[in-house]
Chain A
Amino acid sequence: MPLNKTSKPKLAVWKFASCDGCQLSLLDCEDALLAIADKIVIASFPEASREIIKGPYEISLVEGSITSAHDAERIHKIRRMSKTLITIGACATSGGIQALKNFKDVNDFINIVYAKPDYISSLKNSTPIAEHVKVDFELRGCPINKLALVEVCNAYLNRRKPNIPTHSVCIECKRRGNICVMVSKGIPCLGPVTHAGCDAICPAYNRGCYSCFGPSEDPNVKSLSNQFEEMGMSKDELIRIYRGINANAEEFKNESIFHEQK
C-alpha cells in the first residue's frame, strides 16, 4: 500500500462525540485487517490498543462531532500532528444525530437526562470537524462503508484522489435494479437528495432512504419537499424527515427550518 520503503506510515484514530461505530468499521475489515496492519503502523487507536506511538501522523481518522469546549481545543492539537486529516462518519462530517440538540435549548436537554445539570458541560451546538479545522477529506455515512475507508486511506498513502462517488442514492438504486419505493409504493424516500455510499440499502429492503450519508452534491431539496407535500406529508412529518442522522447538514437544516417557520 505505501510507497515509502524505509519506514511505514503512521495512522491514528481519534474519537469525539459518537457511537464508536465508524472506527469499529476498521476492526470489521476482518479479511483485510492484518494485511493493512502489515503495511502501516497503527500508531494510535485506543479502541484496539494500549500502545500509543507519538505523532506526527501520516493520516488521522477523526470520528465524532465537537460538543464540548475541551474537544474544540483538542481537535486543533490533532490537526497540528496530522499530515492528512480525514473525517469518518456523519457525526464528524455534519454533527451527527446529536446535532438534533442544535434545534432546542441545550439546558432543556441536560435537564431531561441529568438530575444535577451543573456537573455537565456541553456546548450549545454539536458541530462538524470542518467548522473547527481544515479537513482533507470527508468520508460520509452512518456508519461509513468499510471498503470506502480502505479506498480513502489507500488513495492518500499513494498520493492519488480517492475514488468515492458523489452522486445520489437514486443512481445507486437504479444500478442495483430496485423498484422505486416512492413511485411504486408511495413511501417517502430521501434517496434523490442523499449522497451515495450505502448501495441503496433501504429501498432494497422495501423502505425509504433516511439519509445516513447526508446531502449529495447540489441536492434539489425543494423539489423533493414539494413531492412529499403532494404525497400528503404533514408539516411536522416534513420537519422530522430532514431532522435525522444529518439534521445539521446545511441543505437539510435550512429545509427543516423553512418548514418550521412556514
Chain B
Amino acid sequence: MNKSKTKIINVDYLARVEGEGSLYLKIKDDKVQDIKFKIFEPPRFFEAFLRERHFSEVPDITARICGICPVAYQMGAVHAIENALGASLDNNLRELRRLIYCGEWIESHVLHVYMLHAPDFLGYQDAIQLAKDHPEVVNEGLRLKKIGNEIVTLLGGREIHPINVKVGGFYKLPTKKDFNSLLENLKWARTAAHSMIKLTSTLTYPDFEQDYEFVALRHPDEYPFNEGRIVSNKGLDIDVADFEKHFEEEQVEHSTSLHCKLKERGKYKVGPLARYALNFDKFSSEVQKAAKDAGLKEECYNPFKSIIIRSVETLHAVNEAIRIIENYVEPKKPYIEINPKESVGYGCTEAPRGICYHRYNLDSNGLVTNANIVPPTSQNQKSIESDLRELIPLIINLSDEEITWKCEQAIRNYDPCISCSCHFLKVSIDRE
C-alpha cells in the first residue's frame, strides 16, 4: 500500500495568457483537494473613475481596460449609452460597427490560436520556437492577424485603443476607395482561414466533454456581435436590460477579479463554444460546411476544441468583413447628434472571449453617476476551476511537469484575459 501522499503544484505566473494569474493545486491520495485559479492582477477600479465623466469620454476610457480587445469595451460602452439616450443608428453606421468588431475578432482569435494555444498542442514553449520548425504555419498566422489589425486601423485609426469610435457613430468615415487594398487582403484571408480550420482539426484532443450551460447573445438575423437577447441552452432567454436580475458577481478571497454566476444555477460558460452552440444556424453554408468537414457537430462540449471553433469564427469574421465592404455605402453623416438626459442604459456585446455587459447611469448633464461592467473572463472563472477539477483525475498519473502543462492548456482553452477581468496565471500543485 502506498503511504498517504500530499502534493502541491504551484504555477506562480501563468504564461501565454493576457494578464497576471496563477494556479494552486493540492492533491491528496491522487484526489484533488483544492484548486485555486488565482488572479493577482492589481485592481484598476475602472467603474469608480468612470463616475463624473461625460458620456462622450467613456469609450476612450473603457478601451483601456484591455489592450487585446479594446474594441469590445468601446462597443459595449457606446451601445449602452446610446440605449440610455434613446439613439438608434442607421444601418450603414451599424454595419461599420460590425466591421470593426470583425477586425478585432480576427486579430484576437488568430493571436490566440497561433501564438498562444497551438504551441500547447504541438509541444512547444512558444510560437517563436514553433516557427523554427514550421515557419510557414507561423508566418501564415502572423499575416492573417495583421489583416485583422488592418481593419481595426482603417476604421479605428490604430490597432490598439482605436480613437475613431464615438457615441452616436464615428468621428470620421472611410470612403469606398479606402477599402480597396484591404479587400484584396481579405480574399487571401478567406483561403488562410480555411487552412486554419483544417490545421486545427488535425490536432490531438483529449476525450473531455463537459455539461456546460452556454450563455451567448442571439440575434434573429445574424451571428451575434453587438446586439441580441441573452440566451442559454438551459432555458435562459432575457433582454440585455435584465442581466443583473439573473446574474450576480461575488468576490472570492483568492482573486482581485469578481466571479460572476447565474443566480439560479451557478456556473456557466461564455465565449466561442457558447456562441457556436447557440448560433450555428446563423453561419453561412460555407462556414457550416467547413465546421462539419473539421469533424465538429452543431454543438461542441469539449473545451480543448475551442481552438477549432475560434478558427471557424475567424472564417466567419473574414467573410462578414468582405460582405460589409462590398456592400458599403458611405453614411450621410459620421454620427448622429445625441442630447444628454437623466437615464440608464444597458449594452451587451460578444467580445472574442464571450459576452461583455455594460450598464451606465447618466445625469441630466450627461455625466456618469454609476457604471457596471462584467467582462467575459470573470464569468468564466467558475467554469475554468470546474474543468480543472474534472481534468486532474484523468491525468493524475502524469509527472508534475506534465500535469502543470495540461492544466495550463486547459486554462488557455478560455483565452482568459486577466487584465480585463480585474478587475493571470501561476500553477502550484500540492500532493500528499
Contact = CB atoms under 8 A, between A and B. Distances in A.
Nearest to A145: B158
B67 A24 contact: yes
A210 B53 CA distance: 14
A21 B47 contact: no
Interface residues of A, number: 59
A17 interface: yes
B7 interface: no
B111 interface: yes
B409 to A, nearest CB: 10
Contacts of A240: 53-54, 57
Contact of B64 (A19, A23, A110): A19
B406 to A, nearest CB: 12
Residue picked from A15, A20, A21, A120, most chain B C-beta under 10 Å: A20
Nearest to A32: B142
A98 B43 CA distance: 9
B15 A50 contact: yes
A27 B115 contact: yes
Interface stretch (A1-9, A111-119, A223-231, A250-258): A111-119
Interface string A233-248: 0000000100011000
A179 interface: no
A116 B70 CA distance: 28
Contacts of B61: 97
Nearest to B40: A70
Interface string A201-232: 11011110010100000000000000000000
B430 interface: no
Interface string A117-145: 00110100000000000000000001100
A116 B171 CA distance: 41
B139 interface: yes
Contact of B49 (A16, A100, A205): A100
Given A15-B20, A101-B45, A240-B54, A143 B142 contact: no
B290 interface: no
A111 to B, nearest CB: 9
B66 interface: yes
Given A34-B138, A47-B17, A114-B258, A201 B67 contact: no
Interface string B61-89: 10011111010000000000000000000
Interface in B96-155: 111, 115-116, 119, 125-129, 131, 135, 138-139, 142-143, 145-146, 149
A48 B14 CA distance: 10
Interface string B23-66: 00000000000000000011111111101011001001100111
Contact of A101 (B16, B48, B64): B48
A67 B42 contact: yes
Given A48-B126, A205-B163, A21 B171 contact: no
Contacts of B357: none
A131 B53 CA distance: 28
A116 B125 CA distance: 38
Contact of B48 (A23, A47, A112): A112
Nearest to B138: A34
B78 to A, nearest CB: 15
Given A46-B15, A50-B15, A51-B126, A20 B66 contact: yes
Contact of B67 (A20, A67, A101, A108): A20
The size bracket of the interface on B is 35 or more
Nearest to B404: A50
Interface in B239-263: 250-251, 253, 256, 258
A240 B166 CA distance: 18
A96 B304 CA distance: 36
A164 interface: no
B269 interface: no
B160 A21 contact: yes
Contacts of A210: 60
Given A20-B66, A34-B128, A114 B164 contact: no
Nearest to A198: B158
Contacts of A51: 125-126, 129
A48 B16 contact: yes
Contacts of B64: 19, 21, 96-97, 142, 245
Contact of B44 (A22, A98, A212): A98
B164 A47 contact: no
Interface in A12-48: 15-25, 27-28, 30-31, 33-34, 37, 42, 46-48
For the complex of A and B, the 3 pairs showing the least CB-CB separation, nearest first, are: A21-B67, A49-B126, A51-B125
Interface of A: 15-25, 27-28, 30-31, 33-34, 37, 42, 46-51, 67-68, 71, 96-98, 100-101, 104, 108-110, 112-116, 119-120, 122, 142-143, 198, 201-202, 204-207, 210, 212, 240, 244-245
16 contacts: A15-B19, A16-B42, A24-B18, A24-B67, A27-B111, A34-B131, A34-B139, A42-B126, A42-B128, A67-B42, A68-B42, A101-B45, A114-B43, A122-B42, A207-B166, A210-B60
Given A20-B19, A21-B64, A47-B18, 7 more contacts: A20-B66, A30-B143, A46-B424, A47-B16, A97-B49, A108-B48, A245-B64
